[in-house]
Amino acid sequence: MPRCWAFLCDNDGQVTGDLRADFCGSSESISATSLVALIGPGRWKDFLEAVRTRGSIQEHELRIPFEGSVSSLLLNACLTASGVLVFAILGGTSRAGGDSGMAVLAAVHDFNNPISSIVGSCEYLTEYSRENLNPMQLEMISVIEKSARTLLMLSGRIAELSRQR
């Protein structure tokens, strides 16, 4: 079964919010902090610097040791007002065949629902509360909406990759 992580980290690369438990619903998971440790400090620092420079990264693939073998880790990330939001999927060790693809598609669907709500809420606030918000608040809403749209795009790409396997 593929393993998925969604987490937020600060500018120093420390995990500040691990959303994996809510996202995948798996009790056998490793934490995002442990995943970052598997990536290694040098590669993790380089990845975060690239995210800060570009604003987002899609499909950054790394090879990491996992459960006694080397596995492929696909990282997607975007810079948000709260830090760097990372979505990771571990492949290369799955033996479940077609069932793993369905699990990823179900997880992506579950991930998209709250993100779509965030986009809709941002659109509502921008449209109907413009006169009650100052320019800084409007900019924050714009950043939140942009980040949420990036997540929707990334999850769509992950679903596409899952269908290709």
User: What is the third-level CATH fold of 3-164?
Assistant: Beta-Lactamase (3.30.450)
- DSSP conformational letter for 133: S
pLDDT of residue 28: 52
- Using CA atoms, how far apart are residues 69 and 52, in angstroms rounded to an integer? 31
Task: Indicate the domain borders of the chain.
Answer: 3-164
| pLDDT string in tens for the chain (165-residue length) | 557 788 889 888 899 887 654 444 444 567 888 889 999 999 999 999 998 888 888 778 888 887 778 888 888 888 887 788 888 888 754 334 445 566 676 677 777 777 887 888 888 888 888 888 999 999 999 989 998 888 888 888 887 777 665
SS3 for 28? Answer: coil
Q: Which helix (H) or strand (E) holds 122?
A: helix 98-128
Which of the 8 DSSP states describes residue 51? Answer: H
Q: pTM of whole model > 0.75?
A: no
Q: What is residue 94's DSSP assignment? A: -
